[in-house]
Amino acid sequence: MQAIGRDATVLFESYHLRDNVAQQYLTRLPELDRMPEGMSDSADGTLLPYPLDSPVFVEIKRRVRAEVLARVPAAPGKGGQRGGPGIGLGIAFTLVGWLGSWSIMLWAARLGWWPLSFAACAVLSLFTCHVALTLSHGGMHGNLVDHGRWNELLGLCHDIIGGCSLVWTYHHHVSHHMHTNDPDYDQDIFLAWPTFRFDYRLPQYWFHRFQHLYSFVLFAFLSVSIQYSDYVSLFTGSTGRVKFHGASSWEFTRSFLLKAANLFMLLGIPLLVSPAGSLVKVLILWSIYNGVLSFCLSWLFAVSHNIGDTKTLSEESVESWLEVQVRHSANWGGRLGNFLTGGLNYQIEHHLFPGMSYAHLPDAAVIVEEECLKAGIPYVKYPTLLSICVALYKFMRDCGQNRDSPAASVPLSKKKD
């Protein structure tokens, strides 16, 4: 659906690890030398660089199929990239923790035990963060389980916790994954501006000199910002420069209904079960929920692409889609981080294989790193979350205080050779 009216090649060639499957889908679609006016997803109207044009990426895909996915039991005709060991247990853990902490929050509020209710709300926020990173993120990418309908339902968890899966799919699949770190088309970069300057090519204002300091406060308002932008997108039928081609009226209606359900869960039900005169305390619960959730998600999202090591790709050095994706992303941690973040810590592999479950990313990372080093492509990884958060802090300081970078990044919209 997200590919309607767009050059779909990048999406198909990256999502499908079996190249023949991608080609089967692509051969059914019209082939254009240039996108029609107003329909292009590149800066100059040209088609995007393609994943399978890179021999290194082709070899990585071959090795991942042979050395990782070949060991995974898969249904006939399936490639084994979706689902995987431990996914079912992870889903159960997440849902039990999320529903359990929400229930304790309500139970304590009903009895007037507000300190316990506030504490349970903070725990609920952490489990909500886990829901966002694992169930909703994996579901909306269609990779969490090996059933399309179940992935769609799990993706709707994003709406239940306060987001909007309709907006997110266009924002994330079309804008971010296809145009990583492009300040003109990657909304993760330009929508944060002018509050934050996450790219040296964006205009600089005096207050950016302090962004590494005020980030500790404003990161706690991410949820409020997303709520506002979601409503703007739903009413305008677009997010940033991406139009919602193919979206049905039911999807828009469902988005509004689920946003209402989220407010009822976090404000309506607590007000109904709490003693009379508890409005202020319920608003405190809502603030704790959104503040803790926003702060955690902001840091976990921002570290993936916004450190000094991912902003040094020069125009002269770029050779392929693979190189742009690898050099604009960074990994941290290991298998524990993979479970807690749904593979967000293996950002490089996730961008190369967005249709592959996080269960396979640690094994795929070994192959990707080996092949990148053979090809002379820098592979950025940090040992811990703390270490990459320090790198993010330093980058925000440097990007806020310096107008230019040592080497300008190249956008994904660079014309194919």
- DSSP calls for 379-413: --EESSHHHHHHHHHHHHHHHHH-SS-SS----TT
Domains contained in the chain, number: 1
Q: Which residue has the tokens 């990148």?
A: 372
In a domain, 160, yes or no: yes
pLDDT at residue 104, rounded to an integer: 97
Q: What is residue 39's predicted lDDT score, i.e. its pLDDT? A: 38
How much is the pLDDT for 310? Answer: 86
Q: What pLDDT, on a 0 to 100 scale, did the predictor assign at position 46?
A: 47
Please enumerate in sequence order all residues whose Cβ is within 8 A of that of 157, keeping only pairs 6 or more positions apart, or say none: 131, 132, 135, 136, 139
21 assigned to some structural domain: no
Q: Is residue 280 part of a domain?
A: yes
Averages of pLDDT over runs of 10 residues in the chain (417 residues) are: 63 72 61 47 54 89 90 61 84 95 96 96 96 93 86 93 91 80 75 88 92 95 91 90 86 95 95 92 96 95 90 61 89 94 94 92 95 92 96 94 62 37
Answer whether residue 417 is part of any domain: no
In the chain, the amino acid numbered 326 is: V
pTM for the complete prediction?
A: 0.87
Please report whether residue 396 resides in a domain. Answer: no
Contact indicator for 351, 404 with CB cutoff of 8 Å: no
Phi, psi of 35 (to 5 degrees): -75, 150
Angle at the Cα of 233 from the Cα atoms of 230 and 237, rounded to 5 degrees: 145
- Of 308, 258, 297, 246, whose CA–CA distance to 11 is shortest? 246
Whether 71 maps to a domain, the answer reads no
Domain span holding position 113: 87-187+206-298
- Distance of alpha carbon 260 from alpha carbon 299, whole angstroms: 27
Q: Which helix (H) or strand (E) holds 239?
A: strand 238-239
pLDDT at 401 (0 to 100): 92
Q: Is the residue at 225 inside a domain?
A: yes
Q: Which are the contacts of 105, defined by CB distance < 8 A and separation ≥ 6? A: 117, 120, 121, 124, 270, 285
pLDDT for 181: 77
- Contact (Cβ atoms closer than 8 angstroms) between residue 189 and residue 183: yes
Per-residue pLDDT at 347: 95
Q: What pLDDT, on a 0 to 100 scale, did the predictor assign at position 268?
A: 95
Q: Is residue 237 included in any domain, yes or no?
A: yes
Structure tokens belonging to residue 44:
């100059």
What's the pLDDT at 72?
A: 75
